[in-house]
């Protein structure tokens, strides 16, 4: 940071703000990214600092982003400016009311087991070509791990070879959302898929190569979160499985499908679902069971099973007029 920079005061305030949040144990990665983008815009626009006009122009050039993303980024800048205002009484502070509110996120699109099997079959039947076996193998194992282990996209993309124990079928998820790390045991079928993928990976990437990422798009590079998401979305589109569906599932909906399938399996096995939910919460890396309930909103397949259980236990009370 140099005093000769036209954004010297802005840079100093950003550095102080990020250091303050980091000292409080807050996650700052996204804040740093947004403020860095804002700084780049100010430089390109020839501005010496952030003011009402430059902030409004910056917000307008975010119109291509989703509405909730625009609100989130504006709020990050607002929190930075509020922090700065406590030290510089004359600095700019946006009007919070102008950002709008979050819109409800769309409900997840159900993904059934037979659709996953068809998708994996589509990947397996794709014509072999030079250099394409590794990407196909990546697509397949990514879908398997999200659907059978409920991994987040970021967790999947950040997996390193040292985090994988293919012999016992266990993954180590490090410092994920909520700063939580956990061990994720895989099912026998998912473990077999993992071993198959590792054999394909070993054939393409020499042991001497320094690429330590589990999912690789080349001998030198792994996948980013957005890179693996785009790759899976393309496969889902080309498979034609959801051509006539009202909406194609999001990549994150595989994680939702994992939670739904676990709940449905417990009902079918006659287990105490309420006592099992904390286990699901721990397995999925949630900070509490309240976070898990997000995935368990209205689900026709599970509601029918819950209704049958209720009817078998309480039907005589209802029919007898006790309720």
User: What secondary structure does DSSP assign to 168-186, as a single string?
Assistant: TTEEEE-S-GGG--EEEEP
Q: Are residues 132 and 231 in the same domain?
A: yes
Q: How far is it, in rounded angstroms, from Cα 127 to Cα 52?
A: 55
Domain edge (last residue) among 249, 275, 305: 249
Which residues have CB under 8 Å from 244's CB, separation 6+? none
- d(Cα 271, Cα 157) in Å, to the nearest integer? 34
- Nearest Cα neighbor of 213 from 224, 226, 227 is 224
Which token pair is 234? 């393309």
Return the closest-CA partner of residue 280 out of 298, 293, 297, 267: 293
In a 3-state reduction of DSSP, which class is residue 22? helix
Based on the structure, what is the number of domains in the chain? Answer: 3
Q: Are 93 and 86 in contact (CB under 8 A)?
A: no
pTM of the full predicted structure?
Answer: 0.72
Query: Is residue 105 assigned to a domain?
Result: no
Task: Read off the pLDDT of residues 15-38 as tens digits, 9 standing for 90 and up.
Answer: 999 999 999 988 898 999 999 999
Of 201, 25, 233, nearest in space to 109 by CA = 233
4 pLDDT higher than 70: no
CB 200 within 8 A of CB 135: no
Please answer whether residues 308 and 273 qualify as being in contact, where contact means their C-beta atoms are separated by less than 8 angstroms.
no
Asked if pLDDT for residue 292 goes beyond 70, the answer is: yes
Dump the DSSP string for 26-44: ---HHHHHHHHHHHHHHHH
d(CA 109, CA 112): 10
For residue 43, the tally of other CB atoms under 10 A from its CB is 13
Q: Which domain holds residue 15?
A: 8-99
Q: What is the pLDDT of residues 180-213, one digit of tens each?
A: 789 999 999 999 999 999 999 998 887 666 678 9
Same domain, 240 and 123: yes
What is the distance between the alpha carbons of residues 210 and 89, in angstroms, rounded to a whole number?
51
Whether residues 87 and 127 fall in one domain: no
Token pair belonging to 314: 């309480």
Q: Which residue has the higher pLDDT, 203 or 294?
A: 203
- Answer yes or no: do 144 and 202 share one domain: yes
pLDDT at residue 277, as a whole number:
86
One domain for residues 198 and 169: yes
Question: What average pLDDT does range 256-278 have in this prediction?
Answer: 86
Tell me, what's the pLDDT at 75? Answer: 96
Last residue of a domain, one of 249, 265, 284: 249
Q: What is the pLDDT of residue 323?
A: 47
* Pair (176, 261) in one structural domain: no
- Residue 319 is predicted with a pLDDT of 58
114-134 pLDDT, tens digit each: 999 999 999 999 876 656 788
């Amino acid at each position: 940071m140099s005093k000769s920079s036209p954004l010297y005061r802005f840079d100093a305030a950003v550095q102080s703000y990020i250091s303050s949040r980091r000292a409080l144990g807050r996650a700052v990665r996204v804040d740093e990214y947004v403020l860095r983008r804002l700084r780049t815009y100010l430089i390109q626009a020839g501005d010496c600092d952030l003011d009402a006009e430059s902030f409004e122009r910056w917000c307008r050039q975010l119109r291509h982003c989703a509405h909730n993303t625009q609100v989130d980024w504006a709020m990050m800048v607002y929190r930075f400016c509020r922090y700065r205002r406590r030290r510089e009484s004359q600095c700019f502070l946006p009007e919070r009311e102008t950002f709008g509110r979050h819109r409800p996120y769309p409900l997840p699109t159900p993904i059934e087991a037979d659709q996953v099997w068809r998708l994996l079959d589509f990947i397996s039947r794709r014509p072999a070509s030079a250099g394409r076996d590794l990407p196909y193998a990546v697509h397949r194992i990514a879908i398997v791990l999200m659907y059978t282990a409920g991994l987040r996209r970021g967790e999947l993309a950040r997996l390193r070879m040292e985090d994988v124990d293919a012999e016992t079928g266990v993954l180590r998820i490090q410092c994920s959302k909520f700063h939580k790390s956990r061990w994720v045991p895989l099912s026998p079928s998912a473990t077999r898929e993992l071993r198959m993928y590792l054999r394909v990976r070993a054939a393409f990437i020499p042991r001497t190569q320094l690429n330590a990422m589990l999912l690789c798009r080349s001998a030198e590079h792994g996948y980013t979160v957005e890179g693996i998401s785009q790759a899976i979305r393309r496969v889902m589109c080309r498979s034609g499985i959801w051509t006539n569906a009202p909406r194609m599932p999001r990549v994150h909906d595989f994680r939702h499908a994992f939670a739904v399938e676990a709940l449905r399996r417990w009902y079918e096995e006659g287990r105490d679902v309420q006592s099992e939910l904390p286990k699901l919460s721990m397995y999925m890396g949630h900070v509490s069971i309240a976070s898990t309930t997000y995935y368990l909103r209205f689900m026709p397949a599970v509601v029918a099973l819950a209704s049958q259980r209720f009817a078998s236990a309480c039907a005589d009370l209802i029919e007898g007029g006790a309720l």
